[in-house]
Chain A
Amino acid sequence: MEITSHWRIKKQRYALVGEVCPHCSAKIFPPRDICPECGDEAKDHYQFSGRGEVYSYTTLYNAPAGYEEQAPYTVAMVQLEEGPLVTAQLTDIDVKEPEVGMPVEMVTRKLGSEGDRGILIYGYKFRPVLETA
């Protein structure tokens, strides 16, 4: 992937900015400009809270090229509290074993590097929400 393609979606990657449909109020992430619920145009920005729970997860041992040095790592589908599912890595799980339904929150971390110059790519990951009793 080229650097410009990462720059183009940096708002989504850094801050979970998606869309809200002005016609049916569906919250949309990733943004797609046409509402998947009602089929009308949906380009209004929407800031997701970054909170959600683990829908499912797994740990990878055989990583694709470019990710080998990170392996093993754990990925998840997270159900955001506003509704959409999002795919990302889980982080900080040395303190808490992942499980389906576990509350998580978004953090921005390094996703990987790219190209001969090793351009760093940052974006969202999710970590367990620790109870602050």
Chain B
Amino acid sequence: MMANKNQKTNNDVFIIGVGMTPVGEHWDRSLRALALEAMTAAREETGAMRPEAIYVANMLAPALSRQSHLGALLADFSGMRGIEAVAIEAAGASGGMALRQAYLALASGMVNTALVVGVEKITERVTAEVEAALITSSDADYESIHGLTQTALAAMLMRRYEFEFNIPEYAFAGFSITAHANGAKNPNAMFRRPIKVETYQRAAILSDPINMFDAAPVADGAAAIFLARGDILPSNLPFPPVRIDASAAAVSTVAVHDRPNPLSFAAAEKAVKVVLDRAKINLDQIDFFEVHDRYSIFAALSLEAAGFAALGEGWKLAESGAIALNGQIPICTFGGSKARGDTGGATGVYQAAEAALQLQGRAGEIQVADARIGLIQSLGGIGSTAATHVLSAVETL
């Protein structure tokens, strides 16, 4: 345990403001308008502080909106010309990696305050174009050229998992049911209705064995968090700061076929192990885990990679209710990608914002009781990049 567990130090990095737009099909809103809404909401919680730097998380704007250079674009559009701003791209892990870059800048002492904003505008294009854009995060020469989609790659993992571990039919249903139960109570979620096991069982197949409820919808949205160093924390904040206890990232291979064991999310395993070491905590101390559940098989593999379940047994945590809000290890407490909606590169920032609300006791009906320590993990591609953070509630300042 850290000696200063519940006290701040000057070098600590804190989340002091969060903002999120609802996730959905925002036909009437532009990329920059969505980002501005989240950025403004996060800054308002700090008394409208002006950050020294902006880190933008995005993966698809160059492909779908013909817009790159989001750092300068969003700094200008939000009235902050002159500051430092950059966009970070690591496919679906862009959000977690942007948070990590901001964390490193603040922890080093070179930057005092930063705004991390994740934004994605996906629904401007038809499905085939979105699929083509999403698959650019896989191996162009050896995967995408064969007409693969991300869903097809995930489906092959799920089929192999079912083959190797001989699991019962509908073993993954619990992931979707839990996510929708939580999402129903998240005002920003794309899907606000719980589902029954029969609904899951009757769902249309997207890419066998993945059905509609195994796959997260990709949609528009923006989330922002405002970070500040311990030595410049304002004294009159409306909500308690949330400390970033540790940050870690790792990569494995882009192509799934290049992995010694495709059913092992090696990057996720490494990033969790390192982040727990850095935070000087063990798994038992984690009160909730924001998993990047783009597919239900990802949730199972992420729980196994983190060490919450043995290989081939992650689905049991869904079946037993261990992942529910009142379970042993709640996941996707705001609905996860499945019910909140997956906002591509912005997802990791949503996870951080949602975890902050849990640790501040602001999660309303989806509050995890006595949440002190949260683990969040942002995945890019088919688990190729993993960015992982430990966040904690601060008791005394």
What residues make up the interface of A, taking CB atoms closer than 8 Å to B? 1, 5, 9, 30, 36, 55-68, 70, 73, 75-77, 84-89, 100, 111-112, 121, 123
Residue B311 at the chain A interface, CB threshold 8 Å: no
Partner of B207 from A5, A61, A64, A76 at Cβ < 8 Å: A61
Sample 21 A-B pairs with CB under 8 A, ordered by A number: A9-B141, A56-B163, A57-B156, A57-B159, A58-B155, A60-B149, A60-B151, A61-B206, A62-B127, A63-B147, A64-B132, A68-B128, A75-B146, A75-B148, A77-B262, A84-B257, A87-B148, A87-B255, A87-B256, A89-B146, A112-B145
Report how far A111 CA is from B145 CA in the complex, Å.
7
List CB contacts (< 8 Å) of B234-264 with chain A: 255-258, 262
Q: A65-B128, A65-B131 are in contact. Are A58 and B145 (CB under 8 A)?
A: no
Contacts of A68 in B (CB 8 A): 128
Tell me, in angstroms, the Cα distance from A5 to B149 when the chains sit together: 21
User: Is the CB–CB distance between A59 and B207 below 8 Å?
Assistant: yes
How many whole Å from A113's CB to the nearest CB in chain B? 12
B203 sits at the interface (CB 8 A): no
Q: Kindly list chain A residues whose C-beta atoms are within 8 Å of the C-beta of B70.
A: none
B148, A56: Cβ atoms closer than 8 Å: no
Interface residues of B in 118-155 (CB under 8 A from A): 127-129, 131-132, 134-135, 140-149, 151-152, 155
Main secondary structure of the interface of B (DSSP, over half): helix
* Interface residue from A75, A84, A121 paired with B152 (Cβ < 8 Å): A75
Is the CB–CB distance between B258 and A36 below 8 Å? yes
Complex contact B140–A58 (CB within 8 A):
no
Total interface residues in chain B, CB < 8 Å = 36
Q: Which residues of A contact B353 (CB under 8 A)?
A: none
Within 8 A of A (CB), among B19-49: none
Q: Measured between alpha carbons, how far is A84 from B256 in the docked complex, in Å?
A: 11
Knowing A58-B159, A77-B262 touch, does A64 contact B145 (C-beta < 8 A)? no
- Cβ contact within 8 Å between A5 and B152: no
In the assembled complex, B157 has its CB within 8 A of some CB on chain A: yes
Using known A-B contacts A65-B128, A87-B256, determine if residue A111 contacts B156 with beta carbons closer than 8 Å. no
CA distance A30 to B262 in the complex (A): 16
Residue of A nearest to B154 (CB): A58
B78–chain A nearest beta-carbon distance, Å? 33
Q: Smallest distance from the beta carbon of B175 to chain A beta carbons, Å?
A: 19
- Whether B280 sits at the interface, judged by CB under 8 Å, is no
Alpha-carbon distance A51/B149, docked complex (angstroms):
25
Tell whether B5 is near chain A: CB-to-CB under 8 Å: no
| Contact B160–A58 (Cβ < 8 Å) | no
A5 / chain B contacts, CB cutoff of 8 Å:
141
**Interface pair B159/A63, CB less than 8 Å apart:** no
Bound-complex Cα distance A89 to B144 (A):
11
- Evaluate contact between B147 and A73: CB separation under 8 angstroms: yes
